[in-house]
Amino acid sequence: MTIKDLAEATGYAVGTVSRALNGHPNVSEKARAVILEAAQKSGFQFNTNAKQLKQIHSNAIIVVVKGVGNELFGEMVETIQHSLSRTKYQLLVDYLDEDLNEVTRALQLCRERKPRGVLFLGGNNQNFIQDFAAIDVPCVLVTSDGSKLPFPNLSSVTTDDLEAARCGIETLIAMGHRQIAVIGGDPSISDTSRLRLEGCMAAFAAHDIPFDPRRDYQSGRYSWQNGYEAVQTLLRGGLRYTAIFAAADVMAIGAIRALWEYGLRVPQDVSVMGVDGLPLGSYLVPQLSTVVQDGARLANRGLTILLESIEQGKKARHETVPFRVAKRESIREIPI
């Protein structure tokens, strides 16, 4: 079923059919009605390829999701898909492993699909510095700060990772904790991990609490398993901590399990706090204390900025979305 068939069926010429179908002017009401009617009941669909052949780019928006296991990103993809479903844009979601280069991947996708814009869920500044220059459509980096990057077509929306981690640690300190271990991602690979670690260290420094990353920090991927293993490594060192701060809820959950297996109860023996604010956290026993990132808001702001760049040519912006510390059952005050 093509517009040619439609033309034949209605007796109009392809040009008229095309104009009618696309809502262009210079089509009589009658013709439009007849053609739309025919299209309707023949189940006509445009051939996107043919339609876009002529155009510089498609109406696709690509979402590049870095880190397949990231629960927060899952939520955000849903939000984005939902928001976009009522627009003319088509969503194209691409997942890639945490250690791959999201920018070269995006570049490849851009060449192939000629999208109107790209949304990065997670990303690494280093990769952007190296390879982003070749991408010319509007892009938004979500959950990673791009304000230091000099690209006019790259915006970013992020939670202030450093501050979020700092507040998390401050909360623990305010409750009397002094011996705090931190588990998180590899700071040499991930900006987010680095910032969160720095935030922790800033808090420790402000209170003159000794913290040696080589001893008190364990890194791994953001996964249940790695949280579990990180704590095992820490405890194997023989040191005692009254609290563990995990730079991701998933790690915190693995951490709690590892503590349990060592005979340590949460929060009675050790307090545990995460970062992300996964909905799951509220349903655990004990409920997970966490620094809540507003995933829906990150996603929506990111999308809004992207669409404004695409449609109104607005220039790149770098925004921060607020977070909040949720004190729940997995932490407790240390009696002095």
Partner DNA sequence: TTGTAGGCGTTATCAT
Partner DNA sequence: ATGATAACGCCTACAA
Rounded distance between C-alpha atoms, residue 13 and residue 19, angstroms:
10
Rounded distance between C-alpha atoms, residue 311 and residue 119, angstroms:
15
> Residues 23, 30, 43, 313: which binds DNA (CB under 7 A)?
30
- In this complex, which beta carbon is closest to DNA, that of residue 42 or of residue 130? 42
Rounded distance between C-alpha atoms, residue 288 and residue 270, angstroms:
13
CB of residue 195 vs a second copy: minimum separation in angstroms?
26
Rounded distance between C-alpha atoms, residue 30 and residue 23, angstroms:
13
- 12 strand-pairing partners: none
Rounded distance between C-alpha atoms, residue 173 and residue 170, angstroms:
5
CB of residue 32 vs DNA: minimum separation in angstroms?
7
3-class DSSP state for residue 71? helix
CB of residue 126 vs DNA: minimum separation in angstroms?
31
16 interface partner picked from DNA, a second copy, none, CB below 5 to 8 A per type: DNA
CA distances from 172 to 64, 76, 197, 222, 241 (A): 35, 29, 15, 21, 12
The DSSP secondary-structure symbol of 11 reads T
141 interface partner picked from a second copy, DNA, none, CB below 5 to 8 A per type: none
Are the beta carbons of 255 and 228 closer than 8 angstroms?
yes
CA distances from 20 to 14, 53, 65, 124 (A): 10, 20, 38, 46
- In this complex, which beta carbon is closest to DNA, that of residue 59 or of residue 153? 59
88 counts as binding DNA under rule CB under 7 A: no
Handedness of CA 242, 247, 250, 251 (dihedral sign): negative
202 counts as binding DNA under rule CB under 7 A: no
Amino acid (one-letter) located at 335: P
22 interface partner picked from a second copy, DNA, none, CB below 5 to 8 A per type: DNA
**Per rule CB under 7 A, count of chain residues that contact DNA:** 28
Find the helix or strand (DSSP H, E) in which 301 lies: helix 295-312
4 interface partner picked from a second copy, DNA, none, CB below 5 to 8 A per type: DNA
3 counts as binding DNA under rule CB under 7 A: yes
- In this complex, which beta carbon is closest to DNA, that of residue 39 or of residue 292? 39
3-class DSSP state for residue 305? helix
Find the helix or strand (DSSP H, E) in which 298 lies: helix 295-312
328 interface partner picked from a second copy, DNA, none, CB below 5 to 8 A per type: none
CB of residue 27 vs a second copy: minimum separation in angstroms?
24
- In this complex, which beta carbon is closest to DNA, that of residue 33 or of residue 134? 33
Rounded distance between C-alpha atoms, residue 164 and residue 29, angstroms:
59
CB of residue 138 vs DNA: minimum separation in angstroms?
19
* Region from 3-11, 144-152, 163-171, 246-254 binding DNA, contact rule CB under 7 A: 3-11
CB of residue 29 vs DNA: minimum separation in angstroms?
8
Binding to DNA (CB under 7 A): which residues in 40-79?
45-47, 50-51, 53-55
- In this complex, which beta carbon is closest to DNA, that of residue 26 or of residue 188? 26
Handedness of CA 264, 267, 269, 274 (dihedral sign): positive
Tell me the backbone φ, ψ of residue 91, rounded to 5 degrees.
-95, 140
74 interface partner picked from a second copy, DNA, none, CB below 5 to 8 A per type: a second copy
**Which residues contact a second copy (rule: CB under 8 A)?**
43, 45-50, 52-53, 58, 68-69, 74, 77-78, 81, 92-93, 95, 108, 111-114, 224-225, 227-228, 253-254, 256-257, 260, 279-280, 282-285, 287
Amino acid (one-letter) located at 249: D
CB of residue 322 vs a second copy: minimum separation in angstroms?
24
**Contact positions vs DNA (CB under 7 A):** 2-4, 11-16, 18-19, 21-22, 24-28, 30-31, 45-47, 50-51, 53-55
